[in-house]
């Protein structure tokens, strides 16, 4: 099996093939190009760092230095000391596929100032020992309300969409009422034909209920109301969603495995909005597994966070898709409308939760949400962590 050569190997071979004059000209041209690309990287607003498998920082641009207050000497500094809300142990597992995941997560940092950052990890396909970390400051966008984020064009589209949804809802209500009448007619039938008709009516009612739920979610997305907070049991909410989605889950041949720790504390939340967000997460996961698969749901709690993970064995998402999938009305799914992910982001932000996802294209996607608990402590930047600490 041929070993794939990295950039430095190919660069060295290229130099060996040149004579002295050509080699000097080639190096000068590379130096000029390096300066040009550095100018570009230092002009963008996103922080960019190149890291290796030991989490050492090989390169950083101006924005990264300002966001994280990077010192001049970074030889002993690791990115895990700066970004502590990320599961670096999972990324550093020996399995190379873990390192090659594209990842997106929204995290909070407290140094040098309190900020919320969107974190992207993009592996470098030419060299499995390197990856790019991209940081986007979303502090201001989190502080804005949904009304401030909407443009006049989006408002017009929302009004039109709400009208269409209303026109669809009316005949659905009429259809549902007539199905209820038919169900009563056949509910006491003893022959096989009557039982078959009753079963078909039940299926039709279930589909009408599902369509009504989609329309309700659509209207909620374009006309969101303020959440009403009360103590809620997140485990019960997720179980209710799974019960509601059972027909679709079974139809797609998906097996669901749920694991919860013994104690799942109640959190302040809006049960209806959380149910809609979890519905969209599970539905996206189920639809990503077109030929069947497994969905693993794991809930756990520690003194700081209540964490829930959704791991599917679907087709996964690419680095390009992961950077835009939470944008309003942007979708990477055939027949989608981009509303589901918009609801997920809005609901979890309003609940003060951290959320993110990791994916291996062709292997599956992991979505994690963490709700802060009362015991959460402020974490400051660690200095000079020993090599074994992450």
- pLDDT, position 378: 40
Burial 138-169 (b: 16+ CB within 10 A, else e): eeeeeeeeeeeeeeeeeeeebeebeeeeeeee
Instruction: Please choose, from the candidates 50, 37, 16, the residue with its C-alpha nearest in 3D space to the C-alpha of residue 29.
Output: 37
pLDDT per residue over 169-221, tens digit each? 767 777 888 888 888 877 776 777 777 888 888 888 888 887 777 676 666 65
Tell me how crowded residue 344 is: count the other CB atoms within 10 A of its CB. Answer: 22
The top-level CATH class assigned to 44-142 is alpha beta
**Is-contact 273 235, C-beta < 8 A?**
no
CA distance 171 to 363: 41
When computed from its CA atoms, the radius of gyration of the chain, rounded to whole angstroms, is 25
pLDDT per residue over 279-305, tens digit each? 989 988 998 888 889 999 999 998 889
**Which residue has 């499995």 as its token pair?**
128
Tell me how crowded residue 373 is: count the other CB atoms within 10 A of its CB. Answer: 14
Pairing of strands 115-123, 130-137: antiparallel
CATH of segment(s) 227-372:
3.30.565.10
pTM of the model: 0.54
Residues in Cβ contact with 211 at an 8 Å cutoff, skipping those fewer than 6 apart: 168, 172
pLDDT per residue over 30-67, tens digit each? 667 766 677 777 778 889 898 988 899 988 988 999 99
* Residues β-bridged to residue 332: none
Give domain limits for the chain: 44-142, 152-222, 227-372
CA distance 210 to 114: 42
User: What is the distance, to the nearest Å, from the Cα of residue 118 to the centroid of all Cα atoms in its chain?
Assistant: 11
pLDDT band at 267 (very low <50, low <70, confident <90, very high): very high
User: What is the distance, to the nearest Å, from the Cα of residue 304 to the centroid of all Cα atoms in its chain?
Assistant: 21
**Is-contact 245 214, C-beta < 8 A?**
no
């Amino acid at each position: 099996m041929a070993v794939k050569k990295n950039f430095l190997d190919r660069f060295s071979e290229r130099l060996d093939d040149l004579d002295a004059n050509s080699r000097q000209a080639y190096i000068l041209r590379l130096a000029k190009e390096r300066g040009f690309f550095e100018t570009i990287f230092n002009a963008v607003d996103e922080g960019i760092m190149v890291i290796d498998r030991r989490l050492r920082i090989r390169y950083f641009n101006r924005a990264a230095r300002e966001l994280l207050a990077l010192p001049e000497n970074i030889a002993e500094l690791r990115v895990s000391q700066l970004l502590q809300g990320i599961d670096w142990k999972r990324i550093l597992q020996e399995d190379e596929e873990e390192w090659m995941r594209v990842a997106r997560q929204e995290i909070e940092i407290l140094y040098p100032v309190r900020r919320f950052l969107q974190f992207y990890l993009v592996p470098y396909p030419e060299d499995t020992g390197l990856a790019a970390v991209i940081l986007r400051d979303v502090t201001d966008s989190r502080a804005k309300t949904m009304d401030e984020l909407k443009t006049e064009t989006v408002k017009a589209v929302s009004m039109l969409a709400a009208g269409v949804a209303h026109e669809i809802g009316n005949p659905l209500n009429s259809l549902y009422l007539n199905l209820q009448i038919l169900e009563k007619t056949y509910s006491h039938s003893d022959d096989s034909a009557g039982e078959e008709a009753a079963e078909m009516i039940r299926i039709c009612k279930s589909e009408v209920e599902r369509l009504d739920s989609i329309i309700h979610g659509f209207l909620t997305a374009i006309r969101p109301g303020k959440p009403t907070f009360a103590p809620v049991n997140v485990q019960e909410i997720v179980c209710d969603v799974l019960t509601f989605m059972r027909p679709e889950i079974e139809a797609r041949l998906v097996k669901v495995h749920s694991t919860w720790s013994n104690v799942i504390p109640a959190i302040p939340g809006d049960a209806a909005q959380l149910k809609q967000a979890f519905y969209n997460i599970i539905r996206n996961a189920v639809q990503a597994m077109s030929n069947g698969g497994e969905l693993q749901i794991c809930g756990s709690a520690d003194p700081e966070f209540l964490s829930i993970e959704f791991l599917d064995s679907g087709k996964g998402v690419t680095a390009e898709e992961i950077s835009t999938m939470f944008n309003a009305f942007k979708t990477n799914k055939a027949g989608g409308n981009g509303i589901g992910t918009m609801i997920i982001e809005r609901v979890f932000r309003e609940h003060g939760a951290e959320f993110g996802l990791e994916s291996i294209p062709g292997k599956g996607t992991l979505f994690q949400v963490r709700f802060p608990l009362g015991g959460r402590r402020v974490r400051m930047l660690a200095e000079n962590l020993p090599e074994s600490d992450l």
